[in-house]
Structure 1
Amino acid sequence: MLIRVSVLVLLLFCTHSFASQCNSSQVKLQVLGSGGPELDDGRNSSGYLIWYQNKARVLIDAGPGSSIEYGKSGAEFADLQGMLLTHLHVDHSADLAAYIKGSYFTSRNTNLELFGPAANNLMPATSEYLQRLMGDKGAFAYLKEYVNKRDEADYKVIATDVPLVRGQTFQYSLSDEITAKATFVHHGPVAAVAWRVELAGCSIVFSGDMSNQFEVLDDIASEADLLVASNAVPDNASGAAINLHMTPSTIALIAKHAQVKQLLLSHFMKRTLSIQNETLGIIRAKYPGPIKLATDGLVVSL
């Protein structure tokens, strides 16, 4: 009896391990924008695209220039199953209207789910941002049919606001095969969330812009196949910069504690672009896994 129970436990363990393995041949991440808000860094602002079975499935952030890189990638807008925003700073969200306007020239006819942070004292909720941008009285009210659909032949953007509850994770289904999880992170006074996308046994985590004051990224990034971390400040940052962003040392400790399998540094600013070798040295001293530096258009395999 003991032998038979032991064999059963082993089989269950092996089945669980196999089921949770990342099918890396099915999933890739493409960087649409690896820069920040600066005008002269030579890079697009934040944007990332998850490919699944050779189709563009999830868009994370929509910073200026990311829509151009999206077009270069060959992605079909009709294939997208969700758009996730980490926060509503210009360099993460300003191309949203460009994507929606551009979709007029595509074959999309199914609703598009948009997820982002709820409101706080400084920032509007993602749903309100969508209305202010493209609603009936929005800056681009001529696109209002995409927000307040009146013609059943058109698709509608449906916004969901992620609650800003410290220490809690909220889960959303983008399709039968893709799940997105979000948690409230500290980005100074700005409403912001980090995202974890799970599909085909793989997990990709996007820190967005954040300091580590809430100490929540370790949990949502636990054993992720890839962590995309913003590297906007150097290790000696102080003042407002460190209230908004993680230092390289902090990124390294999070990646180490979460045991992420691979780290991608992105969201560079000129103050970090010029010291990338130094940054790599700081992180490698604490985190033993592979590290990549993002560039616009880079495709990362898991």
Structure 2
Amino acid sequence: MRPLRTFACRVLPLLLLTAAGTPAAAQEPAPDRKGLGTWITLGTNAGPVVVPERSQPANLLRFAGKDYLVDVGDGAAGRMEQAGVQSRAVDAIFLSHLHFDHTGGLAAVLGLRFQTSARDPLTIYGPPGTRELVEGLLASMVPGVTANYGVEGAPPVDHRAGITVRELRDGDRIEVDGMTVTVARNTHYSFPEGSAMAQRFQSLSLRFDLPGRAIVYTGDTGPSARLEELAKGADLMVAEMMDIPLTIARLIAANPGIPEGQLQAMQTHLAHHHLSPADLGALAARADVGGLVVTHFSGWDPRSPEHFAYLTTLSAAYPGPFEIADDMDAY
């Protein structure tokens, strides 16, 4: 077990299961110790600007011999292979919201499921709109499925077999394979309360209550009272965090011709719909979570001196142990 990269020698007293410098694929599958489960950060980069060292947001929850994806950003299938999990073996998928950086890898997972002749049931849980998303992806597969391997007379294969979608809304609580999953709408969208768009779309945070501990995943959100209530007393919170001014500057640099109206909408979105280090520290402190893992990270690289400011800000607001995760870290 290696020490965690935390400020002021705070060591996160959780299950960090990947040895330093050792690829996760070389590790034996981690045991589920006393119902704690294992949370693996498959992808930790905030979209939409891609970087070579981090994949888009995706996570793997391993519990009681089953494997669940929690968000499926671009690159998730490759990271799953590193974790020793085949796409065909995924037992369920949870989506926090429908932005592309959190769903871009879903087409690949569904395609690999077809290519490997998966027959086990797969339920995809997500917010309103998930059914429409999945139906669209399955429709996009029809040409490839119809041609298949290009062999005349080969029997047709139903690529939709076993796939079901269950849409969730704020306040829903469901039982899945011995764990309780509770969802709460957060503030990643700010459509007016009661409006058609607020009814049509929700961004959700998820709480997974296992026999041995509770894990809360924020997805993307701004400061949120509903999320604080959902996270109360959780053993672990896995949360997004962004250096918002730096992220805006990088997006402008990557899109120098962005129209003014689109630029203003993007700046409003980033400023109000995401968590800064100060926001996240305050949220984790008020929720009194046992430990904090930062993912969906957009900011200065840990090798940069500016990175130290994130650690000092989090430390000043949140008294518990924390870490800014890399891809393939396990807890």
* TM-score where L is the length of structure 1: 0.77
- C-alpha distance in 1 between matches for 2:67 and 2:287: 26
Determine the structure 1 residue equivalent to 2:284.
255
- Please name the residue that 1:229 is paired with: 239
What per-residue deviation string (whole Å, max 9, x for no partner) do you get for residues 223-262 of structure 1? Answer: 1111011012348987431222011111111111111111
Cα-Cα RMSD: 2.8
Aligned residue number for residue 292 of structure 1: 323
Letter in 2 for 1:161: E
In 2: Cα distance, 1:77 partner to 1:93 partner? 15
Cα offset, 1:48, TM superposition = 0.5
Partner of 2:273: 244
2:141 — aligned with what? 140
Give the structure 2 partner of residue 158 of structure 1.
Answer: 164
2:271 is aligned with what amino acid? I
Separation in structure 2 between the aligned mates of residue 252 and residue 179 of structure 1, nearest angstrom: 26
Aligned match of 1:64: 74
Q: Is 1:100 the counterpart of 2:110 in the alignment? A: yes
Percentage of matched positions with identical amino acids:
23
Q: 2:313 aligns to what SS in structure 1? A: helix
**Offset at residue 23 of structure 1 (A):** 5.2
**CA shift digits 1:114-154 (9 cap, x unpaired):** 11111xxxxxx0001111111xxx32234789xxxx97897
Determine the structure 2 residue equivalent to 1:32: 42
Unmatched 5+ residue regions in structure 1?
1-21, 119-124
Q: Report deviation, 1:56.
A: 4.4
8 Å contact from structure 2 (residues 243, 299) kept in 1? no
**In 1, are the aligned partners of 2:50 and 2:56 still within 8 Å (CA)?**
no
Paired AA for residue 276 in structure 2: T
The SS at the match of 1:61 is strand
Query: Runs of 5+ in structure 2 lacking a partner?
Result: 1-31, 147-155, 191-200, 249-266
The CA distance in 2 between the partners of 1:26 and 1:106, in whole Å, is 30
Corresponding residue for residue 278 of structure 1? 309
Alpha-carbon distance between aligned partners in 1 of 2:229 and 2:39, rounded to the nearest angstrom: 21
Distance 1:108 1:63, change over 3 A: same
What amino acid maps onto 1:169 in structure 2?
G
Task: Determine whether 1:126 maps to 2:130.
Answer: yes
The structure with higher relative contact order (CA 8 Å, sep 6+) is 2
Other-structure match for 1:43: 54
CA distance in 1 between counterparts of 2:90 and 2:290 reads: 26
- Residue 101 of structure 2 is matched in structure 1 by 91
- Determine the C-alpha separation between the residues in 1 that align with 2:77 and 2:245: 31
Aligned residues: 259
Q: Is 1:235–1:247's contact at 8 Å kept on the other side of the alignment?
A: no
One-letter amino acid matched to 2:142: A
- Whether the 8 Å CA contact 1:223–1:260 is kept in 2: the answer is yes
Q: Cα distance, 1:298 vs. partner? A: 0.8
What is the identity, as a one-letter code, of the residue corresponding to 1:127?
R
Distance in 2 between the 1:240 and 1:63 partners?
19
Q: Is the 8 A contact 2:300 2:307 kept in 1?
A: no
Provide the secondary structure at the position in 2 that maps to 1:279: helix
Question: With structure 2 as the length reference, what TM-score do the two structures score?
Answer: 0.70
Q: Structure 2 vs 1, CA of residues 222 and 257 (structure 1 numbering), >3 Å: closer, same or farther?
A: same
Are residue 216 (structure 1) and residue 214 (structure 2) matched? no
Take 1:100 and 1:127, find their aligned partners in 2: how far apart are those partners? 14
User: How far does residue 180 in structure 1 lie from its aligned partner after superposition?
Assistant: 1.4
What SS does the aligned partner of 2:275 have? coil
Match of 1:208, SS state, is coil
In 2, Cα distance between equivalents of 1:152 and 1:105: 11
Q: Which amino acid aligns with 1:158?
A: T
**Secondary structure of the equivalent of 2:297?**
coil
1:52 maps to which residue?
63
Q: Is the 8 A contact 1:33 1:65 kept in 2?
A: yes
